Amino acid sequence: MKLNKFFLLTFLSLLTTIPSLAQTPKIEKGYYLFPIRPGEVNYLAGTMGELRPNHFHGGIDIKTGGVTGSPVYAAADGYISRLKISTSGYGNVLYMAHPNGTTTVYAHLESLEKNLADYVRELQYKQKTFEIELFPEKDQFSYRRGDVIAKSGNSGGSGGPHLHFEIRDARQDVLNPLSYGFDEIKDEIPPYVFGLAVKSLKTGGRVNHQFGRFEFKPVLQGSTYTIDEPIEVWGKVGLEILAHDKFNGSNNTNGFPCIEVLVNGKETFVHNLDKFSFAQTRHIEMHMDYATRKRTGNKYIRLYRADGNELPFYKLNRNNGGIIANKPDSLMDVRITLADIHGNTRQVKFQLKATEPKAVISTTSRLPKPGESEIWENTLKFYAPLKENSSKVATIYAKRMAYEVAPAYIENNMAVYLWDLRANLPDSVDACQEIQHFNFNAMVPSATEYNLYLPELDLHFPKGSLFDTLYLSTGYRTSKDLEIFSISEDNQPLQSYYSVKLKPKNDYPDKARTHAYSYSGPGRYGWEGGSWSGNNLNFRTRSFGDYTILTDSVPPDIRPVRVNSNSISFTITDNLSGISSFEAYVNDDWVLMNYDHKRRVIWSEKLDESKPFKGPVVVKVYDQAGNQKIYTTKL
């Protein structure tokens, strides 16, 4: 539905009371020209703040009809302050500074305006590199509003032809371009809701008498999503929502900036993302439910602040957005309002019923396997099958101490136990005559540096590398000829890199070409790199999971596509570690080769187009393991 004018003003006024938003510059509508087909209807493939793996999307993605080469216009008077040519990320990108203190960014370009292109090419040849970052002098390349500064493309990490467009403030924080007008974009569609989750936030928290995280499917009735039956809860719980927005004439799923949660008419959570700092963008992994995204791909937004989340664009109740249910049989009316940048809103309405937990429950949920366990925030949840004449009280052994723990409840003839890991890390448990072993190594704090030394590996966590406390478990196993080193499960995000020293038992004779790789199963490897120190392999990573050691002795492959006096081009591929670098020479002169990693193609760009290629042609390609392939021919 569309917000009425009064409610829209009230809602947005409320949201902008969040302190981090107060410095957003006031820029009149019409200051910026739409950079693609200005004055015509345009369509978006992405919005600012949209949820992406490990970052918020920094701008809007403007569709270009599935083709490259559309003129890109300067959004306002200004000068080029920075430009970069890269095979990844933004690819070919321009940064344009404007008199009002803002900067506009134009990314994934195919080509630059001729004066810029000549300037870049000359310095690429001078420095003998394709990838280059330059900072021209102020006003060296000035343009007026509406001047063509580039052609749209698909360079870098782009997944298809489009223009990525940003507006940044004087601190280079990202602003929402759609806040400043642009009638080229039509939007009369409110956000869509696909799921709601309710999660226990403390050991005593229950959802339908169970501890954990449980998903529900809201049903659209008229213009509002509802859940027919009240959801029974107890203790402290949190909400999560799976939703996205759409625009007129486009099927793309986009982000939206505003969420408000009211419980019995009282505000518990407000979120308004109309600007963010790149320094904080990785906190998106705490803004979303990371474990659920890794397991299912679904990006549920947490409607509470998780421990370790330092994002500034929330307004929260005293429970950090959590909901407390402790009055038996009381009903709580919950209303979640989602709003996009154009004022279209969608509401989700349902009830929570405070219900004291039952000691014995019967559910239709999947029966856990004996010995199965899982970690929820700071709580270890594990199960044991009930047996006749067997005590239900479990004995937990931790640091040579024994603790007796009664089951939190009985579910489908399985005893469910909850243990606060902050008290102690358990070594094993004797539950219902079943012995379960845990492989916890350490409780790693997020606020301080931490080192761990084990027979198979050493770990170093710098201060601030973790968002929250890590209950670390490690393992070592072999599979055929592979050594596999496990470092917890990839269900908790990292803020920055930590260091790993692997201590392999196998012998690796060709250490120069032997490196660390992530391991997701047979044949599924990801380059991590590293360096050897004696018989130990050191590398850095920003993920948990399994790692192995592989030797890559196969050089890259080079196949000619076109080799003539006008141009040379080749496909380049590698079977394991990936392409590291390349270079080409014609008649002993270095030749600039552009690279598109998606198509695996390199192609020449002459410094002097009038001079034909003639003489010996030599192309060298290196992979990340240090293997080299040389292709030679003669023109």
Q: Identify which has the larger pLDDT, 21 or 230.
A: 230
Element holding 241 (H helix, E strand):
strand 231-244
309: left (phi over 0), alpha (psi -120 to 50) or beta: beta
8 A C-beta contact, residue 630 and residue 619: yes
pLDDT number for residue 2: 46
Q: Identify which has the larger pLDDT, 363 or 483.
A: 483
Q: Which tens digits make up the pLDDT trace of 604-624?
A: 999 999 999 999 999 999 999
Q: What is the mean pLDDT of residues 230-237?
A: 98
Q: What is the mean pLDDT of residues 566-579?
A: 97
pLDDT number for residue 22: 39
Q: Which tens digits make up the pLDDT trace of 439-477?
A: 899 999 999 999 999 999 999 999 999 999 999 999 999
Residues paired with residue 476 on neighbouring β-strands, in sequence order: 485
pLDDT of 81 over the 80 cut: yes
pLDDT number for residue 25: 61
Return the SS3 of 338. Answer: strand
Q: Which tens digits make up the pLDDT trace of 241-280?
A: 999 999 999 899 999 999 999 999 999 999 999 899 999 9
Helices (H), 85-188: 114-127
Name the pTM for this structure: 0.92
d(CA 240, CA 302): 4
Mean pLDDT of the chain: 93
pLDDT number for residue 211: 96
- φ, ψ for residue 11, nearest 5 deg: -65, -50
d(CA 138, CA 545): 47
Q: Which tens digits make up the pLDDT trace of 373-432?
A: 899 989 999 998 888 877 889 999 998 899 999 999 999 888 999 999 999 999 999 988
Q: What angle do CA 41, 43, 48 make, to 5 degrees?
A: 125
Element holding 8 (H helix, E strand):
helix 5-15
pLDDT number for residue 367: 72
Instruction: Quickly count: other Cβ atoms within 10 Å of residue 116's Cβ.
Output: 21
Q: Which tens digits make up the pLDDT trace of 27-56?
A: 888 899 999 999 999 999 999 999 998 999
pLDDT number for residue 271: 93
pLDDT number for residue 564: 97
Percent pLDDT > 70 in the chain is: 96
pLDDT number for residue 276: 92
8 A C-beta contact, residue 194 and residue 187: no
Q: Which band of pLDDT confidence, cut at 50, 70 and 90, is reported for residue 24?
A: low
Q: Which tens digits make up the pLDDT trace of 524-569?
A: 999 999 999 999 999 999 999 999 999 999 999 999 999 999 999 9
Helices (H), 520-576: none
pLDDT number for residue 181: 87
Cα four-point dihedral sign 602, 608, 611, 614: negative
d(CA 243, CA 299): 8
Residues paired with residue 486 on neighbouring β-strands, in sequence order: 475, 546
Cβ neighbours of residue 27 under 8 Å, at least 6 residues apart?
Answer: 100, 102, 180
8 A C-beta contact, residue 273 and residue 314: no
d(CA 632, CA 73): 42
Q: Which band of pLDDT confidence, cut at 50, 70 and 90, is reported for residue 3?
A: very low
pLDDT number for residue 363: 85
Instruction: Quickly count: other Cβ atoms within 10 Å of residue 41's Cβ.
Output: 11
Return the SS3 of 296. Answer: helix
Residues paired with residue 4 on neighbouring β-strands, in sequence order: none
